[in-house]
Structure 1
Amino acid sequence: MLPQVKMQALLLSSVLTTLIPIVPAYSQVPMQQLQVNTTQSEKMSTSNLIAENTKSSVVRVVIWCDVKAYLPKNGKIYSLKTMLGHGSGFFVNPNGYIVTNAHVTNVTDEECKQYFVEELAVKLKEDGEDSNIVKQLKWIDVKPIYQVHLPNGESLPAQILKSGAPIGEGKDVSIIKVNIRNAPVLKLADSSKVRILDKVTAVGYPGLVEMSDIFDKKSLVEATFTSGEISAIKTLKDNIPVIQVSAPAAPGNSGGPVLNERGEVIGIVTFGPQESNNYVFLFTSNTIQEFLTYEGIVNEEGLINQKYREGLQLYNQGKYTEALRKFQLVKRLFPYHSEVDKFIQQSTQIIAANHN
């Protein structure tokens, strides 16, 4: 994208993702393994609380290609189901509405076919066949498949509701939906009010973690937080506003939220220079709001946000019994919550220790 300045969208490319397996849901951490003071938990800072409120709202958006074709020369049917790429996103409404980048979701049948042909040509060559015969393929089925991976490891099918165009071609925003209720939501800020050197935090799923085999399964589904500042407020040639930030981001971060100091979203990570991930550009929250308005989607928090926030505040005040009730309610209303089990276990441990 934008080759004249060597810019690229931060979607993890198929070269990096084809061999990365889908991460299965991980089991809960046994209570005895939790490292926690059994009489009092260390108090969390304002930044810690924002991070805890954010984690369960940020998701991975994964794109697969499912292709099946017939080769008349040998009478064989070949099929391929592979990950083409992934980005990040976040819940913008409790009823399963998610925001990400258009360049994350805009995968065409032709792209799936092209990838299939390249893979099949390699396989035929390895088998001693003429790789040129792939031109004779008869297509049986070609379809992109969209999935959302929640931070607790669960995977849900997704559908695209409205998608713009990749950077340089239009507004690089996409709205997708999964069948879920009571999802924890991030609120949008008014991006017209941001200022140079405001502190920001980028949240998402950089592909570097997934490419390495040194991390455990839980680490693969836990979002990464990086901090920085607003470096500049710019406008693209097509009169679309973007925000430049110094918070590091990497391929895989595309579509991930960037937060202000109140934990509100000012924009989504979209593109940056090939040479460095030390500054990136965001499509703004106000541009995102245009897409939501068009679809009639209201960016509002639900009961989960309220009760989880209350639980964290009570926990931070040392009121563990009251906090436990809030966390248990969150668990009942939204079993997919990635962080609440940890606080339920820690609260239970501390309460039990104080009663002995």
Structure 2
Amino acid sequence: MNQKSMKKLKIAAIVLGVVFLISVIVGLIVVNNNRSSGVSKIAKKKIQKIFAEEDAKSLQKVVSKYGYSIRYDKSIFTGEGHVLNKDSNEKQYSATTYADDELKESRAYAILRLHFRKGSEKSNEEEEKFSFRKIMPDFSIITSRKKAYFDRSTMPEEYKDTKKYSDLDLMLQGDINKQKKDNPNLKYHTSDATISGRKFKKMVVDYGSTIDGKWQKTGEKITYLTIQNGRPYWMTIFALSKNSYTQPYIDQMEALVAKVTFQNPDSSYLVRADGNSEAQVASATIAKTETKAENFSEDKDTTNTLDELDEDSVIKVVARNQIATVRVGTYRCADMIYTAQNGASMQLNGLCTGGIGSGSIVSDDGYIATNGHVTEVSNQSMIMGLNTQENMNKYIKFVIDAGYVTRETLRDLANKANGGDQSAQAAILGLINQVPADNIRSQNDRYDYVIQTSSEPIAREDDGSGNLKWKKTKTNIPAKKIDAEVDLKGRGMDLNSDKSDVAILKVEGRFPAVELGDSSKISRGDRVTAIGYPAIVDDGVNTKKSKTVPTVTQGDVSGSGSDAGGHKLFSMSAQIAAGNSGGPAFDEDGKQIGLNTYGGSSCADRGERNNSCFGEGIFRDIADLKTMAKKNNVTLSANGELTKLWKDGLESFSQGKYSQAKAKFEQLDKKYPDNYLVAKMIEVSSNTPDDSTESEASSVEAGTSESENNTTVIIVVVVILSTGTLFLTVSIIAIAVSVSNRRKMNAYPYPVAGQFPQQPRYPQQPYRQPIPPQQQYPQQNYYQQQPGQYPPTYAQPPMQQPPANYSPAAPAQNDNESKNPPTQS
């Protein structure tokens, strides 16, 4: 073979080698994708039905002709929409009210109010008519039907300067002026906010009472003002009482602001101003319209889903880990001693209070991960356990002796409170807040923990000794605390705290467990799934449901930051609420990467991003849990038999091998009985034949899709084998020819003279063997090896609290209200 042919042969070998390598890479990608998406469509459909069967029944969407929409969960909130009548004006309010299912029809709702559904909590006979119970906040959206709302032609000159006063500034100043007119001593602060990419003005007004000449704060009104599509909107959370019980519910209401969407209003419903007959919306102080609260939705025996589940994660994330997501109950009982500034003292014996949160089983041998604040109860919160007449009498005497209120004033407040006046209730209960935190101490502390491992709700139990405890059952089992780290002095997300807010509990037995992941690999935009037990869904420990199961929310990682202790926190678009604390956050592979800790409003007004995490959830780095486990010499493992049975059963189920799945689930049921999710999977597996040929369209699609996937894999394998065979064949030929040529060159190192006829002898030059030219090889270009490049971990600057932006003082009031900026009208 000549040199030219040899060169072509080598080039062919190189090309085939490259094609072979590319084919292998493509093949690995295709096979991996086929494996990850190889879940039977029928299995996906069935398991989605299992985990989201009640979703459509619980969601309500309200669309107003005035350009706003909101979707909320009917099992949590009850709604009422106000459609203004033609004769309604600022002096005389008139409207038709629609409630609950009536809100499904789009109307000109100028006001929409949402209230928490009333719980079924009942007071003991000993309890006073007013006690430290939840006085629930409410949420409202208000807009104006006035067509030319921002007409500045009738305003004073100072408000015509658009550089000094934007339309949004005018809205805020108008509200300040109006409220100052009603209350010259108004206590408020304002700030800018950006929520879901929209600009808002935030105004917080302190609410309270003046008692014996001293003003006492009991609650607050938080209003978010925005202009969308040229229209003004006010979103307000009004909390008559603000304490450790109501704050999570205030957070949940505040998160609704991020749920509101906007569209162009129907102009036919807008009204022109016409002198004194100008039609306007009444202010937020309109009296509530009482509506009858419906019962909670039907009991669910699988899961609650506030949003549609991502089908790729429903098996490998939700089903895989819901079995190891638990509810955590904490009770603290103690004798509490309160000392006022003037030396007056009160001792309340046997106060018991507590709360509930979420957690995850992070090791087969019963270690539970949760938040530190789920396992601890602050001294200030213990007053919530005041529920006997004897202790109430002590409380009344103490607040009088401490000088917090006169006897006459307290008697008047008590009469109003017993008559149902919630303002009076809030005023009485708020008196205890005047005791400095350092002046509260405890004796004889007792803690009781319970872990709910199935759908049977946890419940309180009074053993007759005066100590409240949790009722223990087969699936509500006692736990002990291994370690906890928490700062109880504040609430919410405090970036100045150096505590990790992590705790580890221990229960006896063997359990299916979650697998822990690595949060250092998290990037912005990564999918995250939060699982837990928000109390607002089932009324928490006061539930009357026969079953309580976890709620699943999904979203994306949107940012990160660190607290003063260097502990990392991640914000996510997945919503969490009171009761979700301590629950697990999972990555796309179904591994736990964090502990859900704060609702999104906890990070309002933070840092340079200025409220951009509002309406989101915050989870803590799973690394903090690993650090605490190491500190306590705790080994965490998810390789136990029960975990393997559950995983194997789900794998068989996902492949349509339902009989195999049933066998695995039944084995698990024998070793881990009474779990609602295992029982449900056994039921579904039993009723589904292997390789089902159901006539529904989805099964046809499933077969087609699976067939297409198999065909793709076969084609890729054929291409790999073909190119591989050609590459090997050409390479062997090239090597053989190269070796043969080299042997010839070694046998005949120089050219050989042939035999010619005898020539006359002429003087000749000494014979010189011609030297063959050196073999030339084309110059090779080698690509420089670059260091491995990985996506950088998304990190945000530490979240900071910006100073409040106080607005300028309101101008002097006069009788001509047209000289002021527009208000909520």
Compute the TM-score of the two structures, normalised by the length of structure 2. Answer: 0.33
SS in 2 for 1:327: helix
Amino acid in the other structure paired with 1:56: I
1:53 aligns with 2:320: yes
Kindly indicate whether residue 557 of structure 2 is the aligned counterpart of residue 230 of structure 1.
Answer: yes
Write the distance in 1 (CA, Å) between the matches of 2:523 and 2:517.
Answer: 13
SS at match of 2:536: helix
Higher relative contact order (CA 8 A, sep 6+): 1
The alpha carbon displacement at 1:235 in A equals 1.6
Given that 2:330 and 2:376 are in contact with CA atoms closer than 8 Å, whether structure 1 keeps it comes out as: no
Q: 1:115 aligns with which of 362, 384, 390?
A: 384
Show CA shifts across 1:193-247 (max 9, x none).
Answer: 11011111111111111228998422xx211111111111212233222111111
1:177 aligns with 2:177: no
Please give the secondary structure, in 1, of the residue aligned with 2:525. Answer: coil
Q: Distance in 2 between matches of 1:264 and 1:228?
A: 15
Q: Secondary structure at the match of 1:119?
A: coil
Give SS of 1:332's match. helix
Q: Is the 8 A contact 2:538 2:545 kept in 1?
A: no
Is the aligned partner of 1:148 residue 2:451? yes
Q: Tell whether 2:481 aligns with 1:160.
A: yes
Q: How far off its partner does 1:178 sit?
A: 1.1
Residues 225/13 of structure 1: CA separation in 2 closer, same or farther (3 Å cut): farther
> Which residues of 2 match residues 180-191 of structure 1 at below 5 A?
180-181=509-510, 183-191=511-519
Contact 1:255–1:270 (Cα < 8 Å) also in 2: yes
Shift of 1:86: 1.2
Q: Which has the higher strand share?
A: 1
Q: Which residue of 1 aligns with 2:396?
A: 131
2:502 & 2:509 partners in 1: Cα distance? 21
The structure-2 alpha-carbon separation of the partners of 1:334 and 1:310, relative to structure 1 and needing over 3 Å to count, comes to same
Is contact 1:203–1:225 with CA below 8 Å preserved after alignment? yes
Q: Distance in 2 between matches of 1:130 and 1:160?
A: 32
The answer on whether the counterparts of 1:189 and 1:266 sit within 8 Å (CA) in structure 2 is yes
The 3 A distance-change label for structure 1 pair 177 and 199 is same
Q: How does 1:1-356 map to 2 (within 5 A)?
A: 13-14=244-245, 45-49=311-315, 50-66=317-333, 82=353, 84-107=354-377, 110=379, 114-116=383-385, 118-120=386-388, 124-125=392-393, 131-132=396-397, 142-153=445-456, 154-166=475-487, 168-181=497-510, 183-211=511-539, 216-218=545-547, 221-272=548-599, 273-274=601-602, 278-301=615-638, 302-350=640-688
Counting aligned pairs with the same residue, the percent is: 26
Q: 1:329 to 1:284 in 2, by over 3 A?
A: same
Is the CA contact 2:570–2:620 (under 8 Å) kept in the aligned structure 1?
Answer: yes
**Unaligned ranges ≥5, structure 2:** 1-190, 192-203, 205-242, 249-298, 302-309, 337-347, 402-441, 457-474, 488-493, 605-612, 693-825
Matching residue of 2:819: none
8 A Cα contact 2:512 2:646, kept in partner: no
| AA of the residue aligned to 1:232 | G
- CA distance in structure 1 between the partners assigned to 2:592 and 2:663 by the alignment: 29
Deviations 1:14-38 (A, max 9, x none): 4699xxxxxxxxx998xxxxxxxxx
Mark the runs of 5 or more structure 1 residues left unpaired by the alignment. 7-11, 18-26, 30-43, 70-76
Distance change (3 Å), C-alpha of 1:122 and 1:268:
farther
Deviations 1:111-131 (A, max 9, x none): 575334x43468645xxx883
1:254–1:270 CA contact under 8 A, matched in 2: yes
The answer on whether the counterparts of 2:519 and 2:593 sit within 8 Å (CA) in structure 1 is yes
Number of the residue aligned with 1:40: none
Shift in Å, 1:157: 1.2
Q: Partners of 1:16 and 1:150 in 2: how far apart?
A: 27
Contact 2:498 2:564 in 1 (8 A): no
TM value normalised by structure 1: 0.74
Q: In 1, distance between residues paired with 2:331 and 2:571?
A: 30
Aligned length in residues: 302
CA distance in 2, matches of 1:201, 1:152: 20
Q: Taking structure 1 as reference, are residues 67 and 194 closer, same or farther at Cα in structure 2, changes over 3 Å only?
A: same
Quick one: which amino acid aligns to residue 179 of structure 1? E
Deviation of residue 176 (structure 1)?
0.6
Q: CA RMSD in A?
A: 3.5
Deviations 1:275-312 (A, max 9, x none): 79721222101121111122222332121121112112
